[in-house]
Structure 1
Amino acid sequence: MITMMWWGYSGMSGWGYALMGVSTVLFWGLLAAVIVLATRSASRGVRTGASAPAPEELLAQRFARGEIGSEDYYAGLEVLRARHDHPIGR
C-alpha cells in the first residue's frame, strides 16, 4: 500500500517542469516557423514562374488606367529609354 502513494511521481523538480514547459513552447514555435517558411517559399516559387512585366509595359498600363497623364507617360518613357546612358548602368 505504501508504494501506491508514490505512484506517478517522476522525481522531477521545479526546474525540470520549467525546462519541459519551455522546450514544449520552443518545439511548437519552431514547427510553426518551419510551416510558415515552407509555405512562403512554395508560394514565392510559383510567383516567380511568370516573368515580370517590363518597366515600359508598367508605364503603359498606368497610362491606360488613367493613373498618369500623357505628359507623365512621355516623360517616363524618355527617362526609361535614356537610363542606359547613366554612369551607374555601365
Structure 2
Amino acid sequence: MMYGNYGTGMWGVLLMVVFMIVGGLLLWGLIVAGVVTAAHYLRGPDRSRGMPETGTSARQVLAQRFAQGDIDENEYTRRLHVLDTTGPPPHPADTTQQRR
C-alpha cells in the first residue's frame, strides 16, 4: 500500500517541489514588478536626470546672471523691464496662422 506520494515515486515528488518553488518565485516576482511599476507610474516623471526644473523662472535666471556678474546693472534693469511689460511668448502654432 502506498501512502502520501500517490505512486509518483521519489523523482515525481522532487519534480513537484521544484515546480512549486519556481512557481512561487515567479509569483512573487510578478507581485514585486507590479508594485514597482505602480509606484513609478504614480510618482510621475523623474526629475533627477539633470534636467532643469520647470519652476525656474526668467526672473530667477536673470537674477543669477546679475549676481554672477554676467550682466551689468543697466542690462539687468532693461531686461527686467522687458519681462514686466511683455507676456509669455506666443505659441508656435499661433504665429504660423497669423502669417497666412
TM-score, with normalisation over the residues of structure 2?
0.44
Which structure's CA Rg is the greater one?
2
Higher fraction of helix: 1
TM-score, with normalisation over the residues of structure 1?
0.48
